[in-house]
Structure 1
Amino acid sequence: MKFDTAYCLSLDEKLSIYDVRELNFDETADFDSDTDSFLCPNDACRAAFKASNTLSTFNAKNVNYQRTPHFKNKTGTQHIDGCRYASTHKGTDGENEDDREDNFPSEFVLTRRTYPRKASTVNTEGQPPQDPTKTPPTRIGTSVSGSDATPDKTSVFAHPVECYVSNIDDKDKLKSMPLKIGEHTATYWTFFKKIEYLQDNKGLIYWGKIKEIKDYTNSFRIDFEKKVWLDKKPYSVNVYLSKKLIDNYRKRKAFLEQIKAAVASERALYCFFYGVTPELKQVPSKKNPEQTFGVFSANIENLDHLIVREVPGAEEL
């Protein structure tokens, strides 16, 4: 059995697998999922066993993954009777479960979640730290409630993207699942807009097949394959990633590993981004700088809200 949420012993908090990936790649965070312990998110179940009754992770540290990240039971993981996380799946090396992401967050929170560590041995009142079997208190800015249910909010862009991508062939499902971003609420199907239709509405998650990624050593430009038609004329679309943006990114190493792999890849790759809408700009011609040509372009403002990845089945849409 695969599931999205688990209790993290070191943080005394329930995390989604996407939160764990964020922490693994964050160069400002002292975190390594391989050395941490993850327990059942069901409070009653967790209280019935020792802290050694742990879960394992799948795709928690792979920068480029093709199969949905998740937590899963180990061979010896135990659960109480009635725990919905109990299963006959015993954590084999081969994954044969449906790769769809079924845990759809209903809100994508634009403010990045923080993950404060629990107190060490004694708190300010001289009491021992909270028992890991108890429900952690609600913290402002967190995306998980005290229940064992999958969180309905996330600040990790990869989570709603994975929901969309892994269910891309199920149009009815995507049309039935609500998503809120800022003050705008729609369905997943409506929020994810193909790049060639970017003029239809602003403030959406735009995505499209990558034609080429220009590597300028310290910066990058992503060119999309599809063009935008305006006044019966086709215009190219691109987004630019500046050196300053990359250098100041807390997940810089992971991002550079991903983008450089994408530059060298011969696979069909797609780019998803949120927060900016490419606008028509006049760009000087390289052959004749006095002449200009039109292109829809935007400077990415937040690398947390950009993903380059494969999208199986996208060519069939």
Structure 2
Amino acid sequence: MKFDTAYCLSLNEKLSIYDVRDLNFDETAAFDSDKDSFLCPNDECRAAFDTGNSLSTFNAKNVNYLRTPHFKNKTSTRHIDGCRYASTHKAATGENDDEREEHFPSEFVLTRRQYERKTLVAGINGNLLQTPTKTPSNPVASPHVANDTTPDKTSVFAHPVECYVSNIDDKDKLKSMPLKIGDHTATYWTFFKKIEYLQDNKGLIYWGKIKEIKDYTSSFRIDFEKKVWLDKKPYSVNVYLSKKLIDNYRKRKAFLEQIKAAVDSERPLYCFFYGVTPELKQVPSKKNPEQTFGVFSANIENLDHLIIREAPGAESV
């Protein structure tokens, strides 16, 4: 069985797998998921066992992943009777159930989540107390409550993007799932807009297949394959990532590793971004600086809201 949320022992709170990925690459955070322990998100189930009854993570530290990241039970993981996170069959602990992201957050929060390490108190037997909840008198789960489920909000851009990409062939599902960003509420299908239709509406998540990534050593330009048509004329589309933006990014090393690999990649890659809308600009010609040509372009303002990745099935959309 795969699931999106688990209790993090070192932070003493529940994190999504996308929170964990975000922290792993954050150079300002002392965090390593391989050295941490992740436990059942069900409070009563977790309290019934010691901290050695942990879960494993899938794709928590891969900069570029092809399959949906998640937590999963180990073969040794135990749950109380009735816990909805218990595996019901052996195949549930395998890798055959990670093709789609099923936990759709209904809100993408633009302010990044802050994490505060809390002091954990040692119990009588020396084990760390996991939560202030009481250990149940018998190992039977009570009906789960809201805080036992996947968080309805996320501040990690990769989460809604994965929901869209992994379900890209299910148009009806994407049209039925709501998403709120700022004051704007729509469906996932509406919020994700192909780059060639960026004139339809502002404030959306734009995406498209990458034609080329220009590597200027300390800065980059992402050129999209599709063009925007305006007044019966085609215009190229690109986004620019400045040196200052990259140098000040809290996940700089991981980002540079990712984009440099993308520059040399022969596989089809896609770029998703939020926060800016490319607009028509006149750019001087290299051959003749006195002449200009039109291009839809934007300077990315927040690298937390940009992703370069593969997107199987995107060509058929």
2:132 matched residue in structure 1: 134
> How does 1:57-206 map onto structure 2 within 5 Å?
57-88=57-88, 95-119=95-119, 131-134=129-132, 147-206=147-206
Distance 1:90-1:50 versus aligned 2 partners, 3 A rule: farther
Judge conservation of contact 2:276–2:301 (CA < 8 Å) in 1. yes
Deviations 1:125-170 (A, max 9, x none): xxxxx931435xxxxxxxxx97110000000000000000000000
How far, CA to CA, are the matches of 2:147 and 2:285 in structure 1?
58
Between the two proteins, the alignment pairs up a number of residues equal to 304
**SS at structure 2 position matched to 1:34:** helix
Distance 1:121-1:53 versus aligned 2 partners, 3 A rule: closer
Amino acid in structure 1 at the alignment position of 2:243: K
Judge conservation of contact 1:72–1:91 (CA < 8 Å) in 2. no
1:27 matched residue in structure 2: 27
Q: In structure 2, list runs of 5 or more residues that go unmatched.
A: 123-127, 134-144
**SS at structure 1 position matched to 2:148:** coil
* Alignment of 1:55 onto 2:38: no
Distance 1:253-1:90 versus aligned 2 partners, 3 A rule: farther
Q: In structure 1, list runs of 5 or more residues that go unmatched.
A: 123-129, 136-144
**Alpha-carbon offset, residue 316 of structure 1:** 1.6
2:288 matched residue in structure 1: 288
2:273 matched residue in structure 1: 273
Could you say what the CA RMSD is over the residues aligned between the two structures, in angstroms? 2.0
**SS at structure 2 position matched to 1:147:** helix
Q: TM-score, with normalisation over the residues of structure 2?
A: 0.92
1:256 matched residue in structure 2: 256
Distance 1:227-1:119 versus aligned 2 partners, 3 A rule: same
Judge conservation of contact 2:120–2:130 (CA < 8 Å) in 1. no
Amino acid in structure 2 at the alignment position of 1:296: F
* Misfit runs of 4+, over 2 Å: 88-94, 119-122
Judge conservation of contact 2:75–2:93 (CA < 8 Å) in 1. no
Which range moved further: 288-297 or 79-88?
79-88
**SS at structure 2 position matched to 1:238:** strand
How far, CA to CA, are the matches of 1:134 and 1:314 in structure 2?
45
1:39 matched residue in structure 2: 39
**SS at structure 1 position matched to 2:82:** coil
Distance 1:302-1:91 versus aligned 2 partners, 3 A rule: farther
Deviations 1:214-267 (A, max 9, x none): 000000000000000000000000000000000000000000000000000000
* Alignment of 1:3 onto 2:3: yes
2:13 matched residue in structure 1: 13
Q: TM-score, with normalisation over the residues of structure 1?
A: 0.92
Judge conservation of contact 1:73–1:90 (CA < 8 Å) in 2. no
Deviations 1:45-70 (A, max 9, x none): 00111111000000000000000000
How far, CA to CA, are the matches of 2:192 and 2:92 in structure 1?
34
Judge conservation of contact 2:67–2:98 (CA < 8 Å) in 1. no
1:125 matched residue in structure 2: none
Judge conservation of contact 2:2–2:70 (CA < 8 Å) in 1. yes
How far, CA to CA, are the matches of 1:309 and 1:12 in structure 2?
31
**Alpha-carbon offset, residue 201 of structure 1:** 0.1
